[in-house]
Amino acid sequence: MSGNDITIEAGNWDTLSEACSHIRRVVFIDEQGVDESEELDALDPTCIHFLIRDGQMPCGTARLLPDGHIGRVAIFKTHRGLGLGARLMRHVIEHARTQHFTECALSAQTHATGFYEQLGFVAHGEVYIDAGIPHRAMTLRLA
């Protein structure tokens, strides 16, 4: 993998669902045991989806909901620890800025709060369980 081979595409569910849903199935359903009915939801058609590729290989995804929430951030295990998650998140955040959002919010798995804090997100509220996994609400002011 070289930095020049990394691309990020934004699109709707119709154009990116095949690659994005595959990544989410592997990461959330297969690796983490999330039920498919919770993972692939009715919000997907309303979101902007982001797909990061290493060359031609899709390796990560995220989505931006119409209200500024970022969700379903997933990177294949083979591509973790290489800075791709941060690169993808910066791209999603910049897209949110172009849409004139004043903040982004997300529901972070507790093991990932440090990752999001490095991007400027602030955790708040109590830890809660979502899909059987501890999470914490986080926000990032864009204004």
Helix, strand, or coil (residue 6): strand
pLDDT tens sequence across 95-143: 999 999 999 999 999 999 999 999 999 999 999 999 999 999 999 999 7
37 — pLDDT class (breaks 50, 70, 90): confident
- pTM as predicted: 0.94
CATH number belonging to the domain at 3-141, selected among 3.40.50.300, 3.40.630.30, 3.30.2320.30, 3.40.640.10: 3.40.630.30
Instruction: Answer for the pair 127, 111: CB distance below 8 angstroms, yes or no.
Output: no
- The reported pLDDT for the residue numbered 83 is 95
Assess whether pLDDT exceeds 80 at residue 60.
yes
3 — pLDDT class (breaks 50, 70, 90): low
Rounded CA gap, 52 and 142, in Å? 23
Instruction: Answer for the pair 88, 59: CB distance below 8 angstroms, yes or no.
Output: no
What does the domain layout of the chain look like in residue ranges? 3-141
